[in-house]
């Protein structure tokens, strides 16, 4: 597994939060309409919430300054992108070479 840098964590967290939210909303919405088996959509809704929470956990755990370790998010909101400079220590935050 590649090292989890703050850029990777931020992207992954955002994608998981978005996908999880979509899954949960779709699961809840279609489940309440009962067009198809409720159990099936229930699984989608629960799975969506699980992915959402996992995405947030990754974001809170890894979206930190590589220099001082200060969080780069404004709790509880995750940023859509990493700031250019750390709000805590003021050092420049460089994206990884493969970014």
Contact flag: residue 86 with Zn ion (CB under 5 A): yes
Task: Supply the minimum distance, in Å, between the C-beta of residue 75 and Zn ion.
Answer: 16
Q: Which stretch binds Zn ion (CB under 5 A): 5-13, 48-56, 75-83, 87-95?
A: 87-95
Pick the closer one to Zn ion by CB: 10 or 86.
Answer: 86
Rounded to a whole number of angstroms, the CA Rg of the chain reads: 17
Residue 51 to residue 96: CA distance in whole angstroms: 26
Contact positions with Zn ion (CB under 5 A) in 23-82: 65, 67-68, 70
Minimum Å distance from CB 97 to Zn ion? 20
- Cβ closer to Zn ion: 15 or 67? 67
Q: Which helix (H) or strand (E) holds 49?
A: helix 38-62
- Contacts of residues 91-96 at CB distance under 8 Å and 24 or more positions apart, as own/partner, are 91/65, 91/67, 93/6, 93/65, 93/66, 93/67, 95/7, 96/5, 96/7, 96/8
Nearer Cβ to Zn ion, position 19 or 79? 79
Where do contacts with Zn ion occur on this chain (CB under 5 A)? 65, 67-68, 70, 86, 88-89
């Amino acid at each position: 597994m590649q090292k989890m840098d703050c850029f990777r964590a931020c992207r992954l967290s955002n994608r998981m939060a978005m996908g999880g939210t979509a899954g949960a909303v779709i699961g809840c919405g279609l489940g309440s309409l009962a067009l198809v088996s409720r159990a099936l959509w229930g699984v989608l809704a629960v799975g969506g919430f699980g992915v959402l929470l996992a995405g947030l956990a990754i974001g809170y755990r890894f979206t930190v300054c590589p220099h001082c370790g200060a969080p780069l998010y404004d709790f509880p909101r995750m940023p859509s992108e990493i700031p250019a400079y750390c709000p805590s220590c003021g050092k420049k935050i460089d994206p990884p070479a493969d970014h």
